[in-house]
Every structure is written in C-alpha cells, then in structure tokens.
Amino acid sequence: MPLVVPGIMTNSDDKTQEWANKLVGKTYSENESNETRDLPEVHRIIKPGSIVTKDFRPERLNIHLNEDGTVSHVRHG
C-alpha cells in the first residue's frame, strides 16, 4: 500500500473514476460542451502519437483519445 501524506498526496482514484464515467467512449470536441466545460483547470488532451512530458502532476487530468477522437481512458498524473 502506498504511503499517503495528508495535504501532500490525495487519492485521485475516485476523481479519475468519476471522469472516466463522464468521458470514456465520448467524442472529444474542442467546442465547449457540458463535459469539456467542466474539465479541471489542469488537464491535457493526449492524441495518438502525441509527445508528452513524463512529469507527474497529481492534480492534472490526462485525457487519452483514440484515432477517431473518442476518449479511450483518463488518468491523473
């Protein structure tokens, strides 16, 4: 079990699951919709073949897209 220090680390699994329930299987559009308007301030959209940094930011929501633009999965970090 990982060490969790209150105030420094949070359990983002619940938040990640909530976002997965909202987004997975839906087509991402840069036009504002209910789902995209409510995205956390710190997020990034990751398209297939995108180059991304390896820095870990627990508050950042990473939204992974398939080739057709649908959300395949989400992850915090």
Domain locations along the chain: 13-76
Please name the CATH architecture into which domain 13-76 falls: 2-Layer Sandwich (3.30)
pTM above 0.75, yes or no: yes
Contact 62, 44 (CB under 8 A): yes
More confident residue, 40 or 10: 40
Looking at residue 11, its pLDDT comes to: 52
State percent of the chain over pLDDT 90: 66
The 10s digit of each residue's pLDDT in 12-27 is 679 999 999 999 999 9
Looking at residue 61, its pLDDT comes to: 96
Residue type, 51: I
